[in-house]
Amino acid sequence: MTMRERFYTLAADALEADPRVAMVFAEIGVAQMPRHPRMYNVGIREQLMISLAAGLALEGFRPVVHSYTPFVVERPFEQIKLDLGHQDVGAVLVSNGASYDASHAGRTHQAPEDVALLASLPGWTIQVPGHPDEVERVFAQALTGDDRVYIRLSEEENHAPVNGDGLVVLRDGSNGAPLVVAVGPTLGETLVATADLDATVAYLATVRPFPREALRAALRGTDVVLVEPYLAGTSAAEVSAALSDRPHRLLSLGVRNEEFRHYGKPAEHRTAHGLDAAGIRASLERFLGRVPPGRAPVSDTVAMS
C-alpha cells in the first residue's frame, strides 16, 4: 500500500471515528473516499478548498485538505496565508505527487517548491514521511491538535519505517566524520550511497520546526550534507542557524532550481537531479575532496560558513 492509499484508508476511518474531522477535496481523491456528510468536494476550486477549510476550523472542526502538491500549496497560497495563517486557525494539508511523482503529467502536477513556500509562513508543522507506516503516525498526531500541519506524501518510499520523532541517528561515524541528513523518502538512496563511507547518517521527517539542537548534538565534525526530496537548499538556512557559532561546511542536495522540461518516469527525474544513490555518492565524494570537480551533478549547492 502506497502512502496515498494508506492516507485514504486513514481519512475514511477518521471521518467515522472523530466527529471533529471534516475532509475537503477538490475532485482529486474523491473517488477513493466514501460518501459522508463531512466529506466536501468543491470541484476544481482549490482556493475555495482552503477557504472552506478555514471556515470549518472557525466552527470547531478539524479540516483535512487533500490534492496534488501544486493544487494544495501553490495555487491557493494566498488563502493559506490569509484564511488560515492570518486568522490563526488550523488545518491539515495532505498532498500527493511530491516533487516529480507525476512526471508523466508534466510541470502542472509537480511542486518541488512546496516546503520552501510553506516554511516561509509562521506556525506550520511540516511532515515529510518516508514510509506509509510513518504517514499513519503523523496523521494521527495531526488530527489531535488545532494547529497548521502539512503532510507531504510521495510514491517514493524507504524500505522500512523509522521509529522516533525529530532527528534520528541511524549510523554513527567517527569523530570528525561528516553528518549526512536524509529527509523523508531520500533515506534509502542515501544509505546505499554511504554504505562504505565513514559518516554519521541521520533521518529527518519533521522538517519544521527544524531540530536545531538535535543537529548540533549529532554533528561530530564540521561537514553537513543535507539530502532533501524537494528544492535543494530548502533547509540550508536552518542548518546555518543551528551552527551559527560553529565552523561548518554545508552541502545541500535536492531538486535543482531550474526548469526541467522533460516527462519520463520518476526514477529518471530522481537520477537527473542527482538524488539516486550514484548521484548522492558522487556529490559526497566531490564535497569531501575525493574526485575531480567535473564529476559532480549539476544539482549540487554548496554553502560554506
Over 80: is that where the pLDDT of 114 sits? Answer: yes
pLDDT band at 300 (very low <50, low <70, confident <90, very high): very low
The mean of the pLDDT values for the chain is 94
- The 10s digit of each residue's pLDDT in 225-270 is 999 999 999 999 999 999 999 999 999 999 999 888 999 999 999 9
Query: Could you tell me where the beta strands, DSSP code E, fall in the chain?
Result: 21-25, 39-41, 62-68, 91-96, 124-127, 148-152, 168-171, 179-183, 200-204, 206-208, 223-231, 249-255, 301-304
% residues pLDDT > 90 (the chain): 91
What's residue 237's pLDDT?
97
Side chain identity at 62, as an amino acid letter?
R
- Residue 56 above 80 pLDDT? yes
- Could you tell me which residue, 149 or 260, shows the higher pLDDT? 149
Q: How confident is the model at residue 204 (pLDDT cuts 50, 70, 90)?
A: very high
Amino acid 296: pLDDT: 44
Give the model's confidence band at 165: pLDDT under 50 very low, under 70 low, under 90 confident, else very high.
Answer: confident
> Cα separation of 297 and 286, whole Å?
10
- Kindly report which listed range (137-141, 162-166, 173-177, 216-220) carries the lowest average pLDDT score: 162-166
Q: What is the pLDDT of residue 291?
A: 65
Is pLDDT above 50 for 297?
no
Give residue for cell 554511504.
Answer: 194
Q: What was the pLDDT predicted at 293?
A: 53
Report the Cα 300 to chain-centroid distance in Å: 19
> 3-state DSSP call for residue 4?
helix
The Cα 2–Cα 103 span in angstroms is 17
